[in-house]
Chain A
Amino acid sequence: MGLLNTLLGRTKPVQSNLDALFALPSASITLQSAAGMSCSGKAGVCFKPPSGQGFEEMQAEVVKLLSMDGAAGLRRAKDSYDYDWLLVENADIEELVTQVHMVNSSLADAGWGPQLLCSVFGLAQLPPVPDDSGGSAAGLPTAGPGAVLPSTAFLVYLFKRGTFYPFDIEQELRLKSLVADDLVIESDLDRWFPLWDLPVG
């Protein structure tokens, strides 16, 4: 198919690959024990909004579904590159991943997979005094927004590749080595593109 597509000058829009997302909670636990970091509870899904009413309606639908699911801190944002973000907050990392997955899969199922760029999960340095009891795995669904921390580093999930890479200029490679056992890390460093002015706080 590759040669034929070349001869005929066409490309297939690339579909998303979502399965690797679910490895995130275990990576968060590893980070917590090894580096005193954990997921900040903030995440965002980034996509290229196409023109047309169809996508707009779909996006509204997803937001409605998420809020019915009890998602807190739901917010829409636009970045300086004209990409749209759907931002989610949840102190429970398992729920956060499920919600991010839901946003992605509903968009992909509706046929908008090619528009998905990446998902970003915030990482936060935990306070030195260990109070991680309310942290990652044990959180109740009612975990308040108080447990959500400001993000200092990020894990970027590339949909089209099904891979992760850390985004934090100073300690990218250290972070990578920490989570390499848990996550599928993007091996091509050229694809670790920087995401400046992230709306994921």
Chain B
Amino acid sequence: MSTARNIPGDRGLTLRMFTTGLLLVILYGAVVGLLIAFGVPLVAVLVFAGAILFVQYWFSDKIALFGMGGRLVTPEQAPQLHGAIDRLCALADMKKPRVAIANTDVPNAFATGRSPNNAVVCATTGLMRRLDEPELEAVLAHELSHVAHRDVAVMTIASFLGMVAGLITRIMLWTGLLGGFGGGRNNSQGGQNVALIELGVLVVSVVVYAISFLLTMALSRYRELAADRSGALLTGRPSALASALVKVTGDLARIPSRDLRSTFNAFYFTPAIVKNGVSLSNLFSTHPSLDKRLAQLATIEAELGRAA
């Protein structure tokens, strides 16, 4: 990506994202191959997982809005929010998404919807109360970037494999625990074989689940960085996004909040999971660390200063 301002694209980020995606695809192929080799009733599992994800994807806007208690607002109800989004959309030449407000003091924002035509951008009242105009605009630009990048679709597809592996693990555990592995067979030789195969499938699906979880989380963090980057370039003010991040993260740590991000229905500005005490390893988080996000924004700021 070479922009008109001669700001180089982030090759490292692109490469990491590409590698993660590639690994997911390879893993997916390997799993399907293995399952076919083992003779597992694959179709049923795939159809079931596909159906669940499709529902999540198709109704992502409604699920996310409902989960967050967001309601759509008209330009008359929220002129300032609509005005800011109007202008950002004109600047980015994209279709204006629907606008929603969630009445909660947790400062956050999210974008959702299966495609740019069905997108919703939602801000919480807590966010609008805490941030000043440029900061709010920076957060909105970040969310609009999620819409433009079609992150709901990308992450739904990326999390498909993990979902399949998780389902298989659960099915195997249940049937295994209920019936005993390979139990109920007369032929002891055959029973042993079946038990071995089932155990093998179980182990493989647990491993696949773990790996795909890590890859999906990595991909999610890269998508966040990419949205930070595009958003900062859109407003031309990385520092506004940085100060919004610092404000919101500082406040979030003080506000108890429930986990709102169990699925990828929506792309939040900051993770709603608040870690208290021992911090989880970065490997398990959907968002990059604050330090990493701020460092990237500082780099973009420097690039903007140089480009002239």
Question: Using a CB-CB cutoff of 8 Å, which residues 58-83 of chain A contact chain B?
Answer: 58, 81-83
* Contact, CB under 8 Å: A194 / B14: no
Q: Say which residue of B1, B83, B236 sits within 8 Å of A196 (CB atoms).
A: B83
* Contact, CB under 8 Å: A54 / B148: no
* Contact, CB under 8 Å: B154 / A6: yes
Q: Say which residue of B14, B89, B238 sits within 8 Å of A8 (CB atoms).
A: B14
Question: Using a CB-CB cutoff of 8 Å, which residues 80-98 of chain B contact chain A?
Answer: 83-84, 86-87, 89-93, 95-96
A54 to B236, CA, bound (A): 12
Q: Contacts A57-B308, A111-B6, A113-B4 given; indicate if A193 touches B87 (C-beta within 8 A).
A: yes
In the complex, what's the smallest C-beta–C-beta distance from A136 to chain B, in angstroms? 28
Residue numbers in B under 8 Å from A54 (CB-CB): 304-308
Question: Using a CB-CB cutoff of 8 Å, which residues 147-176 of chain A contact chain B?
Answer: 158, 160-161
Question: Using a CB-CB cutoff of 8 Å, which residues 1-40 of chain A contact chain B?
Answer: 5-15
Question: Using a CB-CB cutoff of 8 Å, which residues 188-213 of chain B contact chain A?
Answer: none
* Contact, CB under 8 Å: B91 / A9: no
Contact with B along A89-118 (1 / 0, CB 8 A): 000000000000000000010111111011
Majority secondary structure of chain B interface residues (helix, strand, loop or mixed):
helix
* Contact, CB under 8 Å: B233 / A53: no
Q: Say which residue of A11, A15, A83, A110 sits within 8 Å of B230 (CB atoms).
A: A11
Say whether A49 faces chain B, with CB atoms less than 8 Å apart. yes
- The listed residue with most B CB atoms (<10 A of its CB), out of A5, A10, A188, is A10
* Contact, CB under 8 Å: A6 / B234: no
Say whether A190 faces chain B, with CB atoms less than 8 Å apart. yes
Say whether B50 faces chain A, with CB atoms less than 8 Å apart. no
Closest residue of chain A to B304 (Cβ to Cβ) is A52
Residue numbers in A under 8 Å from B79 (CB-CB): 196
Residue numbers in B under 8 Å from A57 (CB-CB): 308
Residues of A in contact with B, size category: 35 or more
Closest residue of chain A to B148 (Cβ to Cβ) is A11
Q: Say which residue of A8, A82, A194 sits within 8 Å of B18 (CB atoms).
A: A8
Residue numbers in B under 8 Å from A110 (CB-CB): 308
Q: Say which residue of A50, A52, A111, A160 sits within 8 Å of B90 (CB atoms).
A: A160
Q: Contacts A55-B308, A57-B308 given; indicate if A114 touches B5 (C-beta within 8 A).
A: yes
* Contact, CB under 8 Å: B238 / A51: yes
* Contact, CB under 8 Å: B234 / A13: yes
Closest residue of chain A to B96 (Cβ to Cβ) is A190
Q: How many A-B contacts if CB must be within 8 Å?
A: 136
Contact with A along B219-247 (1 / 0, CB 8 A): 00011001101100111111100000000
Residue numbers in B under 8 Å from A108 (CB-CB): 4
Residue numbers in A under 8 Å from B134 (CB-CB): 82
Say whether B9 faces chain A, with CB atoms less than 8 Å apart. yes
Say whether B150 faces chain A, with CB atoms less than 8 Å apart. yes
A42 to B236, CA, bound (A): 28
In the complex, what's the smallest C-beta–C-beta distance from A152 to chain B, in angstroms? 21
* Contact, CB under 8 Å: B17 / A13: no
* Contact, CB under 8 Å: A58 / B301: no
In the complex, what's the smallest C-beta–C-beta distance from A104 to chain B, in angstroms? 13
Closest residue of chain A to B237 (Cβ to Cβ) is A51
Say whether B261 faces chain A, with CB atoms less than 8 Å apart. no
Q: Contacts A51-B236, A113-B4, A193-B87 given; indicate if A14 touches B92 (C-beta within 8 A).
A: yes
Q: Say which residue of B90, B226, B227, B238 sits within 8 Å of A191 (CB atoms).
A: B90
* Contact, CB under 8 Å: B87 / A117: yes
Say whether B149 faces chain A, with CB atoms less than 8 Å apart. yes
Q: Say which residue of B1, B5, B230, B236 sits within 8 Å of A48 (CB atoms).
A: B236
Residue numbers in A under 8 Å from B92 (CB-CB): 11, 14, 160
Closest residue of chain A to B84 (Cβ to Cβ) is A81
* Contact, CB under 8 Å: B90 / A11: no
Say whether B133 faces chain A, with CB atoms less than 8 Å apart. yes
A13 to B118, CA, bound (A): 22
Closest residue of chain B to A58 (Cβ to Cβ) is B308
18 contacts between A and B (CB under 8 A): A8-B17, A8-B18, A8-B226, A10-B1, A10-B9, A10-B149, A11-B149, A13-B4, A15-B4, A51-B236, A51-B304, A53-B308, A55-B236, A111-B4, A114-B234, A160-B91, A191-B95, A196-B79
What is A's interface to B at a CB cutoff of 8 Å?
5-15, 48-55, 57-58, 81-83, 108, 110-115, 117-118, 158, 160-161, 188, 190-191, 193-194, 196
Known: A6-B154, A48-B87, A52-B305. 16 other contacts (CB 8 A): A6-B150, A9-B226, A10-B1, A10-B149, A48-B91, A50-B235, A50-B304, A54-B308, A81-B87, A108-B4, A111-B307, A112-B4, A114-B91, A115-B91, A160-B93, A190-B95
